[in-house]
Amino acid sequence: MAESIFRKLRDGGEEGELAPALTIEETVASPFGLDVSGYLLTNLSSSILAGKSKSHGLVLITFSRSPSFYLQLLKQKGIIVTSSSKWIRILDCYTDPLGWIDQPSTGLTEGSSLVKLNKCVSDLKRLFSSIIEAGRELVGDGKTPFCVAIDSVNELLRRSSMPLVSGLLTDLRSHAQVSSIYWSLNTDLHQDKVTNALEYISTMKANLEPLCPSEDGQRNALENLFLVHQDFGRGRFHVRFKLRKGRVRVMSEEYHVDQSGINFSPISSADTGIAATKSLLPKVQFNLQLSEKERVEKEKVVLPFEHQDDGKSLDIYDGRRSLVDGKIETTPLSSMELQTDVVSSGKGGEIIYFRDSDDEHPDSDEDPDDDLDI
């Protein structure tokens, strides 16, 4: 639930604990991770200005979009950012990520004094120092906390190894003045081990599921990217919270993206049971469901214990009756008579068992080899 995530980030962690961390996972089929980041950015900014947040400032690191985009987003939500604002700082890693520009650009939008150009994003130690320095400009060097928002870690993972990026995020979480942190990640661009590593250091994970996934269950990028239909901007928003003592809580709701941004709503009661059933199924590489053709073929298979005589009763020979007409009862024959009958007629006979002694009890539960010392 988006509201629950916002409250966790707003309230921060307890004293002595690491800061709450959120990973927002998106895919090519549902590329709305930045919309979720913008939703959290505007709500955290409003709570900081209203004095309802544990953090007194916010440091935004931009990789996928320019700082002017986020300043315009805040302005559309009624949050005006000026050069005198003392609650937000923006580290611009979008304009010159490789340090190719000799002189910083001076044509930024209003509030450009709040934007600091950060070059060479591959130097993560320098980036960490810049984030902490920007936060201390807002709240000072004491124990006053601030929040850290990273719009996307995809660019970091392109230019640095996974252990270094994971170390940067862990260092930010463990810093005494960082109250909370969140970032977005496109899982289609990275291996599963990268996704698992970022989920491990997160206390919350949010992933966006399209309303109409591909039938084969695979990530068909072109099909979902160029398929234009009314449900493209709709889907399910799943959130997993890591609780104390190793417990996990999973919550879901629907999302809808329009021109005003992303909106969230509860899942209808009819779909709740279906979603809960699907969540119990293991994530495997094969399909556990039967198609209509497979179901019809399965129903045609006649099992061994079923009658195979077009609905007629089948008389099964149990070794104690004659097969002649299935009705005539025969008396047991002696072994000599049985051998003579088999040789003369060439037909099958019955097996007659003779006990070795009267002490032997038929159908006894006792072990006949009980007296052996093995």
Find the mean pLDDT for residues 223-249: 75
Spatial separation of the C-alpha atoms in residues 45 and 62, rounded to whole Å: 16
- Report pLDDT for 312: 60
Residue 133 clears pLDDT 50, i.e. is over it: yes
Residue 106 clears pLDDT 60, i.e. is over it: no
At residue 204 the predicted structure's pLDDT band, cuts being 50, 70 and 90, is: very high
Residue span of the structural domain in which 38 resides: 1-266
CA distances from 105 to 6, 96, 115, 120, 228 (A): 34, 10, 11, 16, 38
- Report pLDDT for 351: 76
Helices and strands counted in the chain (H then E):
11, 10
Strands 204-210 and 234-242: antiparallel
CB 87, CB 57: distance < 8 Å: yes
At residue 274 the predicted structure's pLDDT band, cuts being 50, 70 and 90, is: low
Residue 366 lies in a domain: no
- Report pLDDT for 241: 93
Residue, of 110 and 100, whose pLDDT is higher = 100
CB 326, CB 312: distance < 8 Å: no
Residue 257 is which amino acid?
A: V
At residue 171 the predicted structure's pLDDT band, cuts being 50, 70 and 90, is: very high
Residue 239 clears pLDDT 90, i.e. is over it: yes
Residue 213 clears pLDDT 80, i.e. is over it: no
Looking at the DSSP bridge assignments, the partners of residue 21 are 181
Residue 353 lies in a domain: no
pLDDT (tens digit, 9 = 90+) per residue, 332-341?
Answer: 544 444 444 4
Sign of CA dihedral 227, 232, 235, 238: positive
CATH of the domain at 177: 3.40.50.300
- Range of lowest pLDDT (254-268, 293-307, 326-340): 326-340
CB 39, CB 126: distance < 8 Å: no
Residue reference for tokens 């927002």: 24
Spatial separation of the C-alpha atoms in residues 158 and 151, rounded to whole Å: 15
- Report pLDDT for 281: 55
pLDDT (tens digit, 9 = 90+) per residue, 283-292?
Answer: 666 677 788 8
Residue reference for tokens 């986020």: 70
Residue 292 lies in a domain: no
- Report pLDDT for 41: 94
Residue 288 lies in a domain: no
Residue 269 clears pLDDT 80, i.e. is over it: no
Spatial separation of the C-alpha atoms in residues 368 and 370, rounded to whole Å: 6
At residue 228 the predicted structure's pLDDT band, cuts being 50, 70 and 90, is: very low
Spatial separation of the C-alpha atoms in residues 261 and 72, rounded to whole Å: 13
Residue 327 lies in a domain: no
- Report pLDDT for 302: 76
User: What is the average pLDDT value for the chain, to the nearest integer?
Assistant: 79
- Report pLDDT for 56: 92
Find the mean pLDDT for residues 92-120: 67
Residue 83 clears pLDDT 80, i.e. is over it: no
Structure tokens at 320: 């104690």
Spatial separation of the C-alpha atoms in residues 225 and 230, rounded to whole Å: 13
Residue, of 45 and 300, whose pLDDT is higher = 45
Q: What's the pTM?
A: 0.67
Find the mean pLDDT for residues 109-122: 67
% of the chain surpassing 90 pLDDT: 42
Residue 55 lies in a domain: yes
**How many Cα atoms occupy the beta-carbon half-sphere of 195 within 13 Å?**
15
At residue 107 the predicted structure's pLDDT band, cuts being 50, 70 and 90, is: very low
Residue 96 clears pLDDT 90, i.e. is over it: no
Residue 143 lies in a domain: yes
At residue 373 the predicted structure's pLDDT band, cuts being 50, 70 and 90, is: confident
Helix (H, G, I), strand (E, B) or coil at 254: strand
- Report pLDDT for 279: 55
- Count of domains in the chain? 1
Provide the residue count of the chain.
374
Spatial separation of the C-alpha atoms in residues 97 and 127, rounded to whole Å: 11
Q: Which residues of 242-255 are buried (b: 16+ CB within 10 A; e: fewer)?
A: beeeeeeeeebbbb
pLDDT (tens digit, 9 = 90+) per residue, 338-371?
Answer: 444 444 455 556 777 776 766 666 555 666 677 7
% of the chain surpassing 70 pLDDT: 69
Structure tokens at 80: 């005006």
Write out the H or E segment, with its range, that includes residue 178: strand 178-186
Residue 321 lies in a domain: no
Structure tokens at 164: 């270094």
Find the mean pLDDT for residues 150-165: 92
CB 77, CB 222: distance < 8 Å: no
